[in-house]
A and B are shown apart, each in its own frame.
Chain A
Amino acid sequence: MNQTAETAQSETSFFRKHRGIIYQAVLLMALWLILSGRFGLEPIIYGLLSVGAVVWLNFATGTVPMKTGETVSGQCINVYRLIIYTFWLVIEIIKSGFFVAYLILHPKMPINPMIVRFQTKLPNPLARVILGNSITLTPGTLTLDIQEDYFTVHAIVDEVEEDLVSGNMEARVGRLYLQECKAEEMCTDITILDSAVSAKQVVKYKGGSD
């Protein structure tokens, strides 16, 4: 967290400050052109007006605090690493599909499900959302619940759970934000849960936010 703050202070250029808005506008304009398919003057003017309206409406969402008092922001994400991460994620989707299909078509169905809770320290809510989606897309694991820093994960085979607890993927998500990230520090306080009742009792559930 300190490292990202220092880099943000050293590079206070205009582009760095309003990076999110610029990317948003470019992506929305590309979406408009793909969906309209016409490149005349009139459709482009309409598109610019609509994109401007949407960006203006979204401008405030970067600074609105959530219930926990944190703000969702993609300010400190490293964009080049994000692109590499996306390619890695596509490969993981294909691998996980083949893996679960093998488990389904196996005559004996060799599944051994278990529920694991662990704690990782990630800087902000957006990183936790990315990690939750990534866990769901990687082979044999499924994010059940996220409460502050605690992830509850369902693993369908017990070998898969060892890969998860080693903390490699958490370090990958952490490297999107921080300069350096060690796998050993990212996965602590591991407990294996026996039933759904104990899952509710370990961390006090606040409720209300779905």
Chain B
Amino acid sequence: METFFYILAIIFISAGVFFMLVGSIGLNRFPDVYCRAHASGKVDTLGIMFFILGLMFFEGFGQTSLKLLLVAVFVAITSPVATHALSRRALLHGVKPWKKKN
């Protein structure tokens, strides 16, 4: 049973690392502030969630995994707020959005 949980933990932590890497690639590929906010705000959130889920499987059920669940909830609440604050400030400051050339 422990081996099964370890395998699950490895799978989820690998998925989390992969999504964080994809988010960083997106930060470099996207053309303007708003699209980059999409990349960092969504993909990185998912990566952190998967990572924390893998750590919970690694720990087994107990006080530590409950604390990790609290961290996941906190990230899920704060990440959209931070994304919104950054992009709103950019909009009010007058940063022009990138448009596709037809």
Contact = CB atoms under 8 A, between A and B. Distances in A.
Interface of A: 31, 34-35, 37, 90, 93-94, 96-98, 100-101, 103-105, 109, 111-113, 115, 132-133, 136-137, 140, 142-145, 152, 154, 156, 195-197, 199-200, 205, 210
A37 B87 contact: no
A35 B67 contact: yes
Interface residues of B, number: 42
B45 A97 contact: yes
Interface of B: 19, 22-23, 25-26, 29-30, 32, 34-35, 37-39, 41-43, 45-47, 49, 63, 66-67, 70, 76-77, 80-81, 83-85, 87-88, 91-92, 94-100
B49 A93 contact: yes
If over half of B's interface residues share one DSSP class (helix, strand or loop), that class is named, otherwise mixed; here it is: helix
A102 to B, nearest CB: 9
30 contacts: A31-B70, A34-B66, A34-B67, A37-B63, A93-B45, A97-B19, A97-B46, A97-B47, A100-B38, A101-B23, A101-B46, A104-B22, A104-B25, A104-B26, A104-B29, A105-B22, A113-B100, A132-B84, A133-B77, A133-B84, A136-B41, A142-B37, A142-B41, A142-B83, A143-B80, A143-B84, A144-B34, A144-B91, A154-B87, A196-B97
A65 to B, nearest CB: 23
Contacts of B26: 100-101, 103-104
